[in-house]
Amino acid sequence: MPPRLSFAPVRNFAKQGNLTRRMSSQPKVYVTRPDVDDSGLELLRKRCQVSTWNETIPVPRCELIREVAGKDALYCALTDKIDKEVLDAAGSQLKCVATISVGYEHIDVQECKKRGIRVGFTPDVLTDATAELTLALLLATNRRLFEANKQVYNGGWKSWAPMWMCGQGLKGSRVGMFGFGRIGQEIAARIVPFKPAEITYTTRSPRPQEAATVNARRVDFDEMVCNSDFIVVCCALTPETKEIFSTEAFQKMKPNCILINTARGGVVDQKALYEALKNKQILAAGLDVTTPEPLPLDDPLLKLDNVVILPHIGSADIETRKEMSRITARNILAALAGDKMDAEVKL
């Protein structure tokens, strides 16, 4: 029999060339986290060339500066400092910086404004998740849940005792809200069923309509720190709010006051907080945010029993994080197309 002849497949070079040209014309996006929900990344991959940092630790700065070069958009997180150096490295074609967060203090927005770079963020979607976590942290702190749980495992639980592990209830208390935006209002609404005697709030501008829904009263900062049994920090980090909870503020607080912070670590002077907790100037604190993050294992706050610290999980609700990923992607696509973003920082 004559030998069988085999033929190599004929490649469609024209089709491959079209694909190459189409890909080269697509906008380029760099994503600084591989562990964001894939639904947002899929939106980007349909219309963009997407490259991603491939480790779950924050992208090293040298890597960020190298990889952002030539990109049209940057998908970033709170862990990434986006400043002049990064924007210079990206180049003049960069059109958008979108962060998967409600806060954007890690982005030099003024530098972006100078260059005509649009900035996207993810407000609103995480309001309920953060409010829920804040209430959980408040209850865990005031009822000493973490402290009590340790006693189960270390042998401290000997028997029921009338005054052992007693905490401070919300009923009949005075709750001060430092910040009264969307998240602050939702936190206050969740506190109301616990029957506090009064809810007060401190903001730059009065919010009478929103306050009326929870029967809250606007006060200045001094009145809030002097009279509150609980203080809930839910403001933005700005030059005015940076370390506003200082030694002076803690000295004005009642000895039974409990401070809860789910906003930004920089609002609180942590050294002053440590001294206030250690010296019983205030009763306790609950923190979902710290400076720095993560908190070093040798930080003195970790040696105290009257503080509950969580690893910045305020918005760590599955559906919330998925939608945050999608909003960030949609912000980028809108900016690249010159359309209205889902949520854009006003520069």
pLDDT in tens, 188-212: 999 999 999 999 999 999 999 999 9
Give tens-digit pLDDT for 291-308: 999 999 999 999 999 999
Residues labelled catalytic: 312
| Ramachandran class of 155: left when φ > 0, alpha when ψ lies in -120 to 50, beta otherwise | left
Position 176 scores a pLDDT of: 98
* Domains of the chain by start residue, with CATH: 17-124+319-337 (3.40.50.720), 127-154+162-309 (3.40.50.720)
Using CA atoms, how far apart are residues 103 and 81, in angstroms rounded to an integer? 12
Q: Which of 181, 220, 182 is nearest to 200 (CA)?
A: 220
Give tens-digit pLDDT for 136-193: 999 999 999 999 999 999 999 999 999 999 999 999 999 999 999 999 999 999 999 9
Using CA atoms, how far apart are residues 341 and 347, in angstroms rounded to an integer? 14
Q: What residue has token string 């003195």?
A: 300
pLDDT exceeds cutoff 50 at 49: yes
Q: Which of 218, 224, 187, 222 is nearest to 203 (CA)?
A: 218
Q: What is the pTM of this model?
A: 0.87
Position 12 scores a pLDDT of: 53
Q: What is the mean pLDDT of residues 329-344?
A: 98
